[in-house]
Amino acid sequence: MSIISKDIQKAISLLENEELVAIPTETVYGLAGNIFSEKAIKKIFETKKRPFFNPLIVHISSVDELETIVAEIPEKARILANNFWPGSMTLVLKKNKNIPDLITASKDTVAVRVPNHPVTLSLLEQLSFPLAAPSANPFNNISPTKPTHVENYFKEELKMVLDGGFCKNGIESTIIGFENDEPVIYRLGALSVEEIEAVVGKISIKNKKEENPDAPGMLNKHYSPKTNTILTIDIASEIEKQQPKKIGVLAFATSLKSNKITTQIVLSEEKNLQEAAAKLYDSLHQLDDLNLDVIIVEKMPDFGLGKSMNDRLERASFID
Ligand code: TXA
Ligand code: MG
């Protein structure tokens, strides 16, 4: 029997009983539990095999609820929340006393967002507690963007995946912290730097581990396929170098005419970065399942969502 189901009442009763449910969001699927249940939160870390020093994101149903999670809201945080929630932006702010240390890895800040998915918003509205939810993949694996990805990862370890279809943004939320009340990007993601800057002006980016000991999840290697993955601006010469291996190609917009490759996926023939981001992880999942020797990925244009995709791809691959 499949664990994938649209039964929201069942999801509610599992969560109320301190069990985990994988939930859909517009970015990626999350592995969710009641933030106030020690049992559920411990189970999240165990199921993901995630180290306890890596804190979780709290998911709430509206901007108004933010006051119950955080102790202070800087002016620019309020502006960002009002502009982009529900949406693919996570804010890291000083936490309220009632937020358990397990969620925040004992830090004095907490990460929080209002996801933009009708099923999960309805779920959150019906629950009397917020949900902690990291991406629903085992530590160091590619994030899931559809229910079968989650099912394949966890099988009987998990009781339910709440089916919300394909994640339409397909890449994790952009994480923004505050230093002296000024916003700083800690993780590039589904909300582009350009969109954020249009609202709060120039913003600094500290998404490398060296620059930002504060975001412990930003390991330099992350989001990896099992297959050896190479990121390059020049697919054709990389194919020559990799002969006679079994090669899969992930291209941005242009398909390659070559009999030296086993398979290829083109992310967006229209060169649409939004479409490419939505398909990125699913395409990596597909290629990773084909027992190839190597996956050659084309570097994306380095602006907008392309910048966020390149960030993930650099962590997944050896840059040529
Ligand atoms: O799109 C998303 O954000 C998805 C969906 C499910 O909402 N969630 C997600 O969670 O990507 P996760 O756990 O895979 O990534 C959360 C990141 C981690 O890198 C973690 O270190 C960082 O957020 N984080 C959480 N709390 C933090 C805090 N207090 N300070 C700094 N970084 C924090
Ligand atoms: Mg993750």
Assign 225 a pLDDT band (cuts: 50, 70, 90). confident
Assign 211 a pLDDT band (cuts: 50, 70, 90). low
Instruction: Check pLDDT > 70 for residue 135.
Output: yes
Assign 140 a pLDDT band (cuts: 50, 70, 90). confident
Tens digits of residue pLDDT in 38-86:
999 999 999 999 988 999 999 999 999 999 999 999 999 999 999 999 9
Q: What is d(CA 162, CA 124) in angstroms, rounded to the nearest whole number?
A: 13
Instruction: Check pLDDT > 90 for residue 196.
Output: yes
SS3 249: strand
What number does the ligand 1 atom closest to the CA of 56 have? 25
Instruction: Check pLDDT > 90 for residue 221.
Output: no
Q: What is d(CA 205, CA 186) in angstroms, rounded to the nearest whole number?
A: 6
What number does the ligand 1 atom closest to the CA of 104 have? 29
Partners of residue 295 on adjacent β-strands: 229, 248
233 burial class (0-12, 13-18, 19+ CB within 10 angstroms)? exposed
- Residue 70 DSSP label: B
Tens digits of residue pLDDT in 263-287:
999 999 999 999 999 999 999 999 9
Instruction: Check pLDDT > 80 for residue 319.
Output: no
Please state, rounded to an integer, the average pLDDT across all residues of the chain.
94
Please tell me the predicted confidence (pLDDT) of residue 217.
52
Please tell me the predicted confidence (pLDDT) of residue 219.
56
What number does the ligand 1 atom closest to the CA of 27 have? 1
Residue 181 C-alpha to ligand 1 middle, in angstroms? 20
Q: Which of 91, 90, 83, 82 is nearest to 27 (CA)?
A: 90
Q: What is d(CA 216, CA 57) in angstroms, rounded to the nearest whole number?
A: 13
Q: Whose CA is nearest to atom 31 of ligand 1?
A: 215
Testing ligand 1's pocket by substitution, the residue of 35, 150, 175 carrying the most ligand atoms inside 8 A of its CB is 175
Instruction: Report the predicted TM-score, pTM, of the whole model to 2 decimal places.
Output: 0.95
Tens digits of residue pLDDT in 232-250:
999 999 999 999 999 999 9
Domains annotated on the chain, with CATH: 4-205 (3.90.870.10), 229-319 (3.40.50.11030)
Assigned token pair, 184: 């700083």
Instruction: Check pLDDT > 60 for residue 1.
Output: yes
Instruction: Find the radius of gyration of the CA atoms of the chain.
Output: 19
Report whether residue 110 contacts ligand 1, using a CB cutoff of 6 Å.
Answer: yes
DSSP codes, 184-235: EEEE--SS-HHHHHHHH---EE--STTT-TT-TT--SS-SB-SSEEEEES-H
Residue 217 C-alpha to ligand 2 middle, in angstroms? 8
